[in-house]
A and B are shown apart, each in its own frame.
Chain A
Amino acid sequence: MTLEQTPSAVLEAQSALLSNFEVLEVLRELGAKHAEQLAAEPGVLFAENLKTIQYEIMQYLASDQSPVGSQTAEQVKNLLEALKPYPLTKSEKLQIINLRPERPVELYVIIEDSEDRGLTDKFDEILSLVANHLPKFPKQQERDSGLTV
């Protein structure tokens, strides 16, 4: 290995797909690590570009409008297990987890050629599995708790 010949290189542009929830986990861990470092050494500086994108993505993924803010690994795993009988592609499952569809029309745009694949009849089953396994949008959670109080 000669250093002269090795500027940065992209070995594999796409090694894997990540769900929004997994990214949020990593960013939260990073935030916790930074908080720890800050406590140990007040005044320590973190790279500004990193803090910016961390803040902005967390704002997007953990907002009222995002369904992934309160997801847990357990829930996602259980849902994937429950969806096994249906012939969904990897990217369709990924989008179901990221978007948490609630209405048939939302599932319709996620699943390609659902009619030809005979999946249209299964929409209600899939939607109820999603509703049972993944936590609701934060907004609805608030609304629900508001009603019970």
Chain B
Amino acid sequence: MFILSTFRDTLTIIPKDFRKSKLEALSDEINKKFANKVLLSKNASYCRNPTIQHDSNQLKKVVHDVGLCVCLHDIIDTSEEFVHYGDGSSYVKAISQVKFRMIVFRPFIGELLVGKIKTCTPEGVRVSIDFFDDIHIPSTLLKHQSVFDQSEQAWVWHYEPGLLLWMEVDDLVRFRVVSEAFTDITPMSAPRSRGGLLDTNLAGNSAQIPPYQLRCSIQEDGLGPLAWWQDQ
């Protein structure tokens, strides 16, 4: 479910934090920047530091994606700090290059997880594991002969004639990760609508697709609501 990823980044320590030890200041900075964020490896754009100029052509293409960052695990190496003089002497910062390892949520394909059903819709079932909600079990990956019950808003597995097994909101389910999808949701430059006018609805443009989602299955024996298999 969790992995360690090794990153390198250039971090800024603002004067307020000079009283902290270097490692402590850097740890806080790393956590502030990455915790609870989905990181795509091309994410140089996301991590752009406004004080440092770099050419946007240098942004790497998506080679592999990282996952949902949890927190810093350890700092492996740091460079000497640089102090840049910006406009006015009040604007002094120490900039340091750091190599570090993050704890990242990135279940492997085929991994089993246990979560709680959040919603049931005709399209399938959505599961939450408290800190991550973009888990979908599409209707095609539910048990065969599952039917969506409109009146109960729940899925029913017609296991055999006369035996109905329900999947309801808040049930705990065991499921297998089948595939993952990463989407770059950094807002793009405003797209032009057909009339050539700028479409200012940037949020509507980017907020709909989650940056990281998991597609899961409960088709095998042993998967599905835990209660189904408790008497085995």
Contacts and interface: CB of A to CB of B under 8 A. Distances in A.
Interface stretch (B48-56, B118-126, B194-202, B205-213): B48-56
A105 B131 CA distance: 27
B111 A95 contact: yes
Contacts of B58: 5, 7
Contacts, number: 154
A56 B130 contact: yes
Contacts of A95: 111-112
A53 B102 CA distance: 13
B223 to A, nearest CB: 6
B222 A53 contact: no
Interface stretch (A12-20, A70-78, A126-134): A12-20
Nearest to B41: A10
B interface, how many residues as a size bin? 35 or more
Could you tell me the dominant secondary structure of chain A's interface residues? Answer: helix
B32 A12 contact: no
Given A11-B99, A47-B28, A110-B112, A53 B131 contact: yes
Contacts of A99: 112, 114
By CB atoms of chain B within 10 A, which of A5, A13, A19, A27 has the most? A13
B2 A47 contact: no
Nearest to B231: A103
B111 A20 contact: no
A15 B101 contact: yes
B43 interface: yes
7 contacts: A3-B95, A5-B54, A8-B9, A11-B99, A47-B28, A49-B31, A91-B111
Interface of B: 1-10, 28, 31-32, 35-37, 39, 41, 43-44, 47-49, 52-54, 58-60, 64-66, 70-71, 73, 79, 82, 95, 97, 99, 101, 103, 106, 108, 110-112, 114, 129-131, 172, 174, 176, 220-223, 229-230, 232
Given A3-B97, A18-B3, A105-B222, 20 more contacts: A3-B10, A3-B95, A9-B44, A10-B5, A10-B6, A10-B39, A12-B6, A13-B64, A13-B65, A14-B3, A15-B5, A17-B2, A18-B2, A22-B2, A50-B36, A53-B36, A54-B71, A59-B131, A99-B112, A108-B222
